[in-house]
Amino acid sequence: MVSVELRNVSKRWDGFELRVDLSVKDGEFLTLLGPSGCGKTTTLRIIAGLEKPDSGRVLFDGTDVTDLEPNERNIGIVFQDYALFPHMTVFKNIAFGLEMRKLPRGEIERRVKWALELVGLSGLENRYPEQLSGGQQQRVALARALVIEPEVLLLDEPLSNLDAKIRERLRSEIRRIQRELGITTVYVTHDQEEAMAVSDRIAVMNVGRIEQIGEPLELYYKPRTEFVARFLGTSNILELEAENGVARLGNLEFSVGVDGKVKVFFRPESVLITEGEDATVTGYELLPGRMRLYLDVEGHTIIAERPLPDLPFEPNRVPPRVGILVRSFSLLSL
């Protein structure tokens, strides 16, 4: 297995410029997360060698591979649209890369069998792609990428054509296989839940740049920018004036350690609900096992989410005003 590094990589098109520095550790599962058009696929294609950067270098385990073709890089790729050969059986589809490499017959059979077992498709080797469900087709694509025993696995929105239940199952299976093989993986998605669920680290991208990179919970609870905060879920962002190191809103006090304008950030589940009069309830929603409350404090909206047993009132008797406590917060850059 290898580490992957993008050093000062740039790529320019009409109206778009990608600039990335990125270091993926040996055996790591790193996700590129961001909205459509931010440069996720381009970054992945540069790692694969399908796209040449205008400047900068691509390194595998410290070795410069920038000028190597994709087939010289020992990578496995899975795309969104499966891209299976329709006229070939599952076996043939998976064996294709090995036949190109002219491996002996017995070795090919052994490896295809291994890959089929790995992705849970044993017994389906004689089917054609059109005789498979979307989820099964994507498993074939995954087996085809893994069968060559690549040093780096690249996945570009591999689950986005599947329905929600299958997506959840397959994502945890991809993660299991990745851990089992210890394979360095770069995964592309625009689905924040998927990214949180599978990644060792997430790089959040925004218009051609990595805005922040870190472990899922670090990004979720300590985003540096409003973009990252909003992209990773529901946010409370309060623009307040701090005096003597403290920003106040109603009875809430945030020890921010600076003076002047600040952006205080916290997640809905960091808001505790108590009996009290701090906030006016302007709306609420019952969600599976929890309640979301929309609150107003001096013209600022705060969203709180609590498990039902933690509410100081019955879910069907929401009082007009509640007390609130914010358990933890961080500051966003202005």
Which of 41, 184, 185, 236 is the binder for ligand ATP (CB under 6 A)?
A: 41
Q: How many residues bind ligand ATP (CB under 6 A)?
A: 11
Residue 16 beta carbon to ligand ATP: minimum distance, rounded to whole angstroms: 4
> Cβ of 227: how many Cβ atoms within 10 Å?
18
> Cβ of 233: how many Cβ atoms within 10 Å?
15
192 lies in the site for Mg ion, by CB under 5 A: no
Cα–Cα distances (Å) from 96 to 123, 240, 260, in that order, read 18, 60, 63
**Measured between alpha carbons, how far is 288 from 319 in angstroms, rounded to an integer?**
20
Of 304, 323, 303, which is closest to residue 312 (Cα–Cα)? Answer: 323
Task: State which residue, 50 or 197, has the beta carbon closest to ligand ATP.
Answer: 50
Task: State which residue, 38 or 256, has the beta carbon closest to ligand ATP.
Answer: 38
Q: Given the rule CB under 5 A, which of 37-45, 189-197, 228-236, 265-273 is the region that contacts Mg ion?
A: 37-45
**Measured between alpha carbons, how far is 93 from 224 in angstroms, rounded to an integer?**
44
Residue 23 beta carbon to Mg ion: minimum distance, rounded to whole angstroms: 21
**Measured between alpha carbons, how far is 287 from 274 in angstroms, rounded to an integer?**
19
Angle at alpha carbon of residue 285, lines to 280 and 290, rounded to 5°: 105
Q: Which two tokens stand for residue 75?
A: 């990578």
**Measured between alpha carbons, how far is 247 from 258 in angstroms, rounded to an integer?**
9
Residue 194 beta carbon to Mg ion: minimum distance, rounded to whole angstroms: 14
31 lies in the site for ligand ATP, by CB under 6 A: no
Q: Rounded to a whole number, what is the distance in angstroms from the first to the last CA of the chain?
A: 40
41 lies in the site for Mg ion, by CB under 5 A: yes
Which of 31, 42, 192, 236 is the binder for ligand ATP (CB under 6 A)?
A: 42
Interaction residues for Mg ion, span 138-167 (CB under 5 A): none
38 lies in the site for ligand ATP, by CB under 6 A: yes
54 lies in the site for ligand ATP, by CB under 6 A: no
Task: State which residue, 31 or 41, has the beta carbon closest to Mg ion.
Answer: 41
19 lies in the site for ligand ATP, by CB under 6 A: no
Pair 141, 78: CB distance under 8 Å = yes
The runs of H, that is alpha helices, within the chain are 40-48, 90-100, 105-118, 134-146, 164-181, 192-198, 216-221, 226-231
Q: Given the rule CB under 6 A, which of 32-40, 113-121, 166-174, 233-241 is the region that contacts ligand ATP?
A: 32-40
**Measured between alpha carbons, how far is 93 from 144 in angstroms, rounded to an integer?**
7
Cα–Cα distances (Å) from 118 to 80, 139, 143, 153, 163, in that order, read 20, 9, 8, 15, 22
Residue 85 beta carbon to ligand ATP: minimum distance, rounded to whole angstroms: 23
36's contact among Mg ion, ligand ATP, none, with CB below 5 to 8 A by partner kind, is ligand ATP
190 lies in the site for ligand ATP, by CB under 6 A: yes
Residue 157 beta carbon to Mg ion: minimum distance, rounded to whole angstroms: 6
Pair 268, 304: CB distance under 8 Å = yes
222 lies in the site for ligand ATP, by CB under 6 A: no
Residue 39 beta carbon to ligand ATP: minimum distance, rounded to whole angstroms: 4
Residue 21 beta carbon to ligand ATP: minimum distance, rounded to whole angstroms: 17
39 lies in the site for ligand ATP, by CB under 6 A: yes
Residue 40 beta carbon to Mg ion: minimum distance, rounded to whole angstroms: 5
Please report, as ranges, the residues that interact with Mg ion according to CB under 5 A.
41
